[in-house]
């Protein structure tokens, strides 16, 4: 269509056909079509979790349909794009296991192609050179605003002869409605008069973002654009550009943004951090974060936790909810705990060591720490939700004697309690095998013999063994410390 005046013979056209012919529509997917999706981040900051979720949805959709998932780095805004951000995005995606089917495409390398495409659009009559000065454009805008429509350039007809003046290349915006048959939002219709003759090439010849996105998606063969609904209004403009180029537009799926736990749009206030913070500071596993994010705004119709691979088998855009999704850190932790329990112990031990090295500079780590951590993981992972918790729970057995007692631990270690620990000591010492359940049974026998409840023994024993730091149950805490160290910690309190 490209802005050509549509002249239907109203008398001959059936009303519905007429409407259909007046609309620019997105193409519908024919059965044999090969699905191609892409994630197209602008490298102006880290990979935030909204971006990670968008990437996951694109990845899953491509996997579901046996298609391709591609990555395009939209680095055309050279002033705001940084190598650091590119590295962070690539690292974040790799960490989440979002393998692409082709190497990433860098948009900045394609300016010549974008220019060529714009000039082809001029030849087709879908775009034009506009020589209006800034002041003239300003006046045109005011006039358009007063008339409640988008800006139209007087140069769009091609009647005004070219001059030596600098020009921009503009889209000849459509007169007719543009309909985006959005796979999440449903049909979104924008009136042609609300789309302005937007700039495709600036006066220095550089392509605008709007042009670059369309040309790249077309050249990459993208069939489905799944992205945040902050881009919904761009879709109509982009469909108009596809039309100006004579290309089929992809299908769009605009997914609702992620909101904070309080329902407000996710912002720095909520600690809207890059995925590396979820990894390095909060200690989530990539499979845990991914499994949580895919459920933010999408549901397979049941509550079972699915890995991204499992979810990809059933992923369906029709099950994407239109309401904004709320970040829920409790749920995230529970989903992560699910994967932590199933994760390989040696891997978790390595992650725990790395976490301690990065986040606990004041911990004095004994030389035997790696083996101790490795040995503790099978027990600690049953009661931890994150690597951060695994690290916290490792402190008690890594700390060296004499332990620093926190206030609660000091309070628990009354004179009476210390005397009780002294009576307990020989009974524990008699355990040569130092087995967690045998030790737990011994503690029960001991309190029975003392004629007290576990409440009289638990807090002081825990205080003596951990100094107040988090630790698993007492039998396991004793076992993890080892016979010699545990007995010595008791002796320290006599
Ligand atoms: N580069 C855009 C962004 O990071 C996304 C563009 C698109 O997905 O079409 O928000």
CATH of residue 208's domain is 3.40.50.620
Using only C-alpha atoms, the chain has a radius of gyration, in whole angstroms, of 32
Token pair of 424, please?
């307990």
What is the distance in A from the centroid of ligand 1 to the CA of 45? 13
Claim to verify: residue 366 and residue 419 sit in the same structural domain = no
44 lines ligand 1 (CB under 6 A): no
pLDDT for position 75:
94
For residue 377, being part of any structural domain is answered with yes
Looking from the CA of residue 238, the nearest atom of ligand 1 is 9
Residue 482's contacts (CB-CB under 8 Å, 6 or more residues apart) are 434
CA of 406 to the centre of ligand 1 (A): 50
Question: Is 42 touching ligand 1 by the criterion CB < 6 Å?
Answer: yes
Whether residue 238 sits in one domain with residue 154? yes
Q: How many domains does the chain have?
A: 3
Ligand 1: centre distance to CA 41 (Å): 5
| Co-location of 385 and 444 in the same domain | no
Question: Atom 6 (ligand 1): residue with closest C-alpha?
Answer: 40
**359 and 225 assigned to the same domain:** no
Domain ends where: 255, 284, 312?
A: 255
Cβ–ligand 1 distance for 47 under 6 Å, the answer no
Residue at 130 is within a domain? yes
Taking the CB of residue 138, how many other CB atoms lie within 10 A of it?
12
Q: Whose CA is closest to 233, among 199, 195, 267, 183?
A: 195
3-state SS record for the chain = CCCCCCCCCCCCCCHHHHHHHHCEECCCCCCCCCCEEEECCCCCCCCEHHHHHHHHHHHHHHHHCCCEEEEEECCCCCCCCCHHHHHHHHHHHHHCCCCCCCCCEEHHHHHHHHHHHHHHHHHHCCEEEECCCHHHHHHHHHHHHHCCCCCCCHHHHCCCCCCCCCCEEEECCCCCCEEEEECCCEEEEECHHHCCCCEEECCCCCECHHHHHHHHHHHCCCCEEEEEHHHHHHHHHHHHHHHHHCCCCCEEEEECCEECCCCCECCHHHCCCEHHHHHHCCCCCHHHHHHHHCCCCECCCCCCCCCHHHHHHHCCHHHECCCCEECCHHHHHHHHHHHHHHCCHHHHHHHHHHHHHHHCCCCCCCCCHHHHHHHHHHHHCCCCCCHHHHHHHHHHHHCCCCCCCCHHHHHHCCHHHHHHHHHHHHHHHCCCCCCHHHHHHHHHHHHHHHCCCHHHHHHHHHHHHHCCCCCCCHHHHHHHHCHHHHHHHHHCCC
Are 88 and 47 in contact, with CB atoms under 8 Å apart? Answer: yes
CA 409 to ligand 1 center in whole angstroms? 53
356 and 466: one domain? Answer: no
Over the range 386-411, which residues count as b (16 or more CB within 10 Å of their CB) and which as e?
A: bbbbbbbbbbbbbbeeebebeeebee
361 and 407: one domain?
Answer: no
Q: Is residue 21 part of a domain?
A: no
Q: Is residue 199 part of a domain?
A: yes
- Distance from CA of residue 229 to its chain's centroid? 15
Give the residue numbers spanning the domain of 229.
112-255
- Select from 398, 417, 442 the last residue of a domain: 398
Tens of pLDDT, residue by residue, the chain (494 residues):
333 333 333 333 333 333 333 344 444 444 456 999 999 999 998 899 999 999 999 999 999 999 999 999 999 888 899 999 999 999 999 999 999 999 999 999 999 999 999 999 999 999 999 999 999 999 999 999 999 999 999 999 877 777 788 999 999 999 999 999 999 999 999 999 999 999 999 999 999 999 999 999 999 999 999 999 999 999 999 999 999 999 999 999 999 999 988 888 877 666 667 899 999 999 999 999 999 999 999 999 999 999 999 999 999 999 999 888 899 999 999 999 999 999 999 999 999 999 999 999 999 888 899 999 999 999 999 999 999 999 999 999 999 999 999 999 999 999 999 999 999 999 999 999 999 999 999 999 999 999 999 999 999 999 999 999 999 999 999 999 999 999 999 999 99
Q: Are residues 349 and 426 in the same domain?
A: no
Residue 10 lies in a domain: no
Q: Measuring CA to CA, which residue among 200, 180, 202 is closest to residue 191? A: 180
What does the block give as tokens for 177?
A: 């409605």
pTM of the model: 0.89
Minimum-distance ligand 1 atom for the alpha carbon of 213: 9
Q: Decide: 72 in ligand 1 pocket, CB within 6 A.
A: no
Q: Which atom of ligand 1 is nearest to the CA of 74?
A: 1
Atom of ligand 1 nearest to the CA of 54: 8
What is the spatial distance between Cα 211 and Cα 114, in angstroms, rounded to a whole number? 7
Check residue 77 and give its pLDDT: 85
Shared domain for 473 and 484, answered yes or no, is: yes
Could you tell me which residues are beta bridge partners of residue 265? 259
Which residues have CB under 8 Å from 3's CB, separation 6+? 125, 126, 156, 172, 173, 174, 175, 244
Please check whether residues 116 and 251 belong to one and the same domain.
yes
Do 169 and 241 lie in one domain? The reply is: yes
Cβ of 217 closer than 6 Å to ligand 1, yes or no, is no
- Show which residues are catalytic: 268
- The reply to whether 192 falls in a domain is yes
Ligand 1 atom closest to residue 38's alpha carbon, by position in its atom list: 8
CATH number of the domain bearing residue 472: 1.10.10.350
Confidence at residue 187, expressed as pLDDT on a 0 to 100 scale: 97
| Residue 486 sits in the same domain as residue 436 | yes
pLDDT of residue 79: 87
Q: Is the CB of 213 under 6 A from ligand 1?
A: yes
290 assigned to some structural domain: no
In the block, tokens 């332990």 appear at: 403
- Position 7 scores a pLDDT of 35
Q: Ligand 1 within 6 A of 74 CB? A: yes
> Is the Cβ–Cβ distance between 491 and 465 less than 8 Å?
no
Ligand 1 centroid from CA 109, angstroms: 17
Q: What's the confidence (pLDDT) of residue 29?
A: 44
Does residue 67 line the site of ligand 1, with CB under 6 A? no
Residue ending a domain, choose from 224, 255, 286: 255
Task: Report yes or no on 373 lying in a domain.
Answer: yes
Q: Are residues 350 and 466 in the same domain?
A: no
Any residues with CB less than 8 A from the CB of 17 and at least 6 apart, and which?
Answer: none
């Amino acid at each position: 269509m490209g802005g050509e005046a549509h002249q239907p013979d109203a008398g001959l056209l059936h009303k519905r056909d007429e409407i259909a012919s007046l609309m620019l529509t997105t193409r519908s997917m024919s059965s044999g079509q090969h699905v191609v999706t892409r994630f197209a981040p602008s490298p102006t900051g880290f990979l935030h979790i909204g971006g990670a979720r968008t990437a996951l949805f694109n990845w899953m959709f491509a996997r579901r349909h046996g298609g391709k998932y591609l990555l395009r780095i939209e680095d055309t805004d050279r002033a705001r794009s940084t190598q650091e951000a590119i590295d962070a995005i690539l690292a974040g995606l790799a960490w989440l296991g979002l393998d692409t089917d082709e190497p990433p495409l860098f948009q900045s390398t394609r300016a010549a192609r974008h220019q060529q495409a714009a000039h082809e659009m001029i030849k087709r009559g879908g775009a034009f050179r506009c020589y209006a000065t800034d002041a003239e454009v300003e006046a045109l805008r005011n006039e358009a605003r007063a008339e409640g429509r988008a800006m139209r350039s007087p140069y769009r007809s091609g009647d005004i002869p070219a001059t030596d003046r600098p020009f921009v290349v503009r889209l000849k915006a459509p007169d007719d409605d543009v309909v985006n048959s959005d796979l999440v939002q449903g049909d979104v219709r924008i009136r042609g008069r609300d789309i302005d003759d937007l700039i495709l090439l600036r006066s220095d010849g550089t392509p605008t973002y709007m042009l670059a996105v369309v040309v790249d998606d077309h050249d990459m063969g993208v069939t489905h654009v799944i992205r945040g609904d902050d881009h919904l209004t761009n879709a109509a403009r982009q469909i108009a550009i596809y039309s100006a180029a004579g290309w089929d537009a992809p299908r769009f799926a605009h997914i609702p943004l992620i909101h904070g736990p309080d329902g407000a749009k996710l912002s720095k206030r909520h600690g809207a951090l890059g995925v590396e913070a979820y990894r390095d500071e909060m200690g989530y596993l990539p499979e845990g974060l991914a499994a949580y994010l895919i459920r933010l705004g999408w549901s397979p119709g049941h509550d079972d936790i699915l890995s991204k691979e499992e979810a990809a088998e059933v992923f369906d855009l029709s099950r994407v909810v239109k309401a904004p999704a709320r970040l829920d850190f409790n749920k995230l932790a529970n989903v992560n705990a699910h994967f932590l329990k199933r994760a390989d112990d040696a891997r978790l031990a390595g992650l725990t060591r790395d976490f301690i090295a990065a986040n606990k500079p004041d911990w004095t780590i004994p030389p035997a720490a790696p083996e101790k951590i490795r040995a503790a993981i099978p027990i600690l992972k049953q009661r931890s939700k994150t690597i951060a918790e695994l690290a916290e729970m490792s402190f008690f057995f890594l700390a060296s004697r004499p332990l620093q007692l926190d206030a609660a631990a000091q309070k628990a270690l009354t004179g009476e309690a210390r005397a009780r620990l002294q009576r307990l000591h020989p009974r524990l010492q008699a355990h040569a095998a130092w087995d967690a359940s045998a030790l737990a049974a011994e503690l029960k026998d001991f309190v029975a013999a003392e004629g007290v409840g576990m409440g009289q023994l638990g807090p002081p024993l825990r205080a003596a063994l951990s100094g107040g730091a988090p630790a698993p149950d007492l039998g396991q805490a004793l076992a993890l410390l080892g016979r010699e160290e545990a007995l010595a910690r008791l002796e320290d309190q006599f």
